[in-house]
Amino acid sequence: MIKTYNIKDISVSEILKREEESRDVSGIVADVIKNVRERGDAALAEYTEKFDKVVLDSIVVSEDEINEALASVDAEFLDILNESAENIRKYHRCQVRNGYSLTDKPGVIIGQRISPIEKVGVYVPGGSAPLPSSVLMNVIPAKIAGVPFIAMATPPSKNGKINPSILAAAKIAGVDVIYKMGGAQAIAAFAYGSETVTPVNKIVGPGNAFVAEAKRQVFGKVGIDMIAGPSEVLVIADGSSKPDVVAADMLSQAEHDRMASAILVTDSAGLAAAVAYELEVQIPLLTRAEIARESIDKYGKIIIAENLRDAAKISNEIAPEHLELMVEEPFAYLPEIKNAGSVFLGKNCPEPLGDYFAGTNHVLPTSGTAKFSSPLSVDDFVKKSSYIYYTKEALELEAYKVNKFAMQEGLTAHAKSAVVRFDTNNSEK
């Protein structure tokens, strides 16, 4: 059963505490990466047979397979996928930035260019819960950024096929090539390439502990989005909130993962008790009841605050992945929120809206990293380059200042480079 605390009786460190993973997978992952790097497709085939229990003729998904998947997906769901994709596009188009030039000094141009990353790899988990939403959220911002090549990797089932809804989402989002490969080996192939797999410059997408560790180990060779932790939701609710609604929203995250955390902070002791009761009513009805049960018992918490502004303060210290402001005047409290991945305003804004449909990105910072990082966006798929242009006359006006600065740092070659063009003994003057 979920535990209830007074805000004065629990620290943020206690709220965020997680059991340490007992298994260190770094050595296993390092071996996988080395094997794929050295042996390419042969290593990928061996891992696919070992872990996915299937021997493949090809790891590349064919156009026929994609068309077959599209034909098999429920027509109504296909319409929903398309509408969700368009919502995501509309939101992320607003994030597009342009470069700039400054020309306020005669003969001087300085500026910034923004260009897309050339090749991106998107990892999509397999398992019992297919995630077409993850395809849309990771691919669409990359497309809007102008990435010319987007590859997707996802593990095949035992029949050698990919879940049709994932293939449908990939088609709608605009993936260029889809590989049947999963786990750390897929991340290694994205980073180093193989006879079949084109190496990429950045890897994004969620995965299990092996995938997360592989992303950690290849970072530097390639870019990554983030190392995501367990899912989180924090609900700030006032006494007028409905306990069954609060409980349902908390469980929408608890069912994700045994280590997920669902936290309620409220100024109403009555609501706290009613939500605790509702959780016990609703958990047994879930298809993933066992997972939700463990999440709520171990990491779920109800915290009673003196007022909603105190609730906002503790939320800022926790910096949750998802924050629901389930209060009467949510926009009045929005300025109080400094640290949160995504904020859901009001009593009619359940967190799954952001997961699937509203258009905001559901790839969010976890484990308190919202204090310094942001949701996945178009910015994650572009690079910025600065540029400088000086005429000879403009340089002559400022070369001495650069020379003086360099000499202050003891870098005489720097100093000479600034003034050599104006040396009367220099034949190239």
Catalytically active residues are 321-322
Taking residue 260's Cβ as centre, other Cβ atoms within 10 Å add up to 27
Sheet of 301-304: strand order equals 3-6, 301-304, 261-266, 232-237, 322-326, 342-345
Burial state string for 333-359 with b = 16 or more CB within 10 A and e = fewer than 16: beeebebbbbbbbebebbbbebbbbbb
Helix (H, G, I), strand (E, B) or coil at 172: helix
Strand 232-237 with 261-266, pairing: parallel
The dihedral sign for the CA sequence 1, 317, 310, 333: negative
Taking residue 10's Cβ as centre, other Cβ atoms within 10 Å add up to 15
For residue 63 the two structure tokens come to: 């156009």
Residues 6+ apart with CB under 8 A from 364: 321, 322, 341, 342, 370, 375, 376
Residues 6+ apart with CB under 8 A from 318: 12, 15, 16, 234, 263, 339, 368
